[in-house]
Amino acid sequence: MTARDDFVAGVRTMAPVLPGILPFTLIFGVVAVSVGITPLQAVAMSVVLFAGTSQLAAIELIGQHAPAAVVVLTVVVINLRVVMYSASMAPYFSDLGVRWRGVLSYLLTDHVYALAITEAEVTDGSVSLRWYFLGLGTAIWVAFQAGTVAGVVLGATVPDRWGLEFIIPLTFLAILVPEMKERTNAVVAVVAGAVAVVGAGLPVNLGLFVAAVVGVLLGAVLNGVSGE
């Protein structure tokens, strides 16, 4: 297979996932505008971060007028899982140059990792993993940015009195509930949620940040215990 064939294979593999991505990105664009972020800033955030869950958390904090440091720290903590993804994928790309690794790192998301690591573990070498990964990442990146732009345009037409900020908590619930089937995930969710509620009155809106830290640390501990 050629590099082009491997790239197209990645795009095709990601294609069935994209319909589930678009509503998420639309919500981000709509709510970003509703909390006072300009359309250009919303699109720029989507391009620079390219991390849906942390973007929604950032929007939630910005809407509450949290300090920039708290917003940045929260985004970093939520995205710590990507470090584990990178460590898992690193052996397959150890022979690549800095530019290639930089591009692939930027495109690394939950969906891309899940599909790429599956291919990496079963491939017999007939598929160029770098081009396959690039196809996966490019497909979801284009869909993500297109959805954000559409959401920003739609959000600009929605009256402020609609108060669309409530969509963010609902979106997080939609993400969270399916994950509650695992006992570890349920415990982490309950504890982190309780910390967020208790910490709601903390200065400079630190409640969400503290809850995120507690959730990440507890998840790491519980997964470590269960893996023994």
Query: Which contacts of 79-82 are long-range, i.e. CB under 8 A and separated by 24 or more positions?
Result: 79/51, 79/54, 80/216, 81/110, 81/216, 82/51, 82/108, 82/109
Confidence (pLDDT) at 166: 58
What's the token pair of residue 136?
């996966």
Q: Is the pLDDT of residue 24 over 70?
A: yes
Residue matched to tokens 């269960």: 226
pLDDT digits (tens, 9 = 90+) for 54-107: 888 888 888 888 888 888 988 888 888 888 889 999 999 999 999 999 999 999
Q: How far apart are the C-alpha atoms of 185 and 9, rounded to whole Å? A: 33
Q: What is the mean predicted confidence (pLDDT) over 185-204?
A: 80
Mean pLDDT of 182-193: 81
Lowest mean pLDDT among 129-133, 148-152, 189-193: 189-193
Confidence band for 228, pLDDT divided at 50, 70 and 90: very low
User: Quick check: 181 pLDDT over 70?
Assistant: yes
Which pLDDT does position 170 carry in this prediction? 59
Predicted confidence (pLDDT) at residue 175 exceeds the cutoff of 60: no
* Mean pLDDT, all residues of the chain: 83
4 versus 64: the higher-pLDDT residue is 4
Question: From CA 17, how far away is CA 61, in angstroms rounded?
Answer: 28
d(CA 139, CA 47): 14
C-alpha of 55 from chain center: 7
Neighbours of 34 (CB within 10 A): 21
Q: How many CB atoms lie within 10 A of CB 28?
A: 27
pTM higher than 0.85 for the full model?
no
Distance of CA 196 to the CA centre of its chain: 20
| Percentage above 90 pLDDT, the chain | 32
Neighbours of 207 (CB within 10 A): 21
User: Percent of the chain beyond pLDDT 70?
Assistant: 85
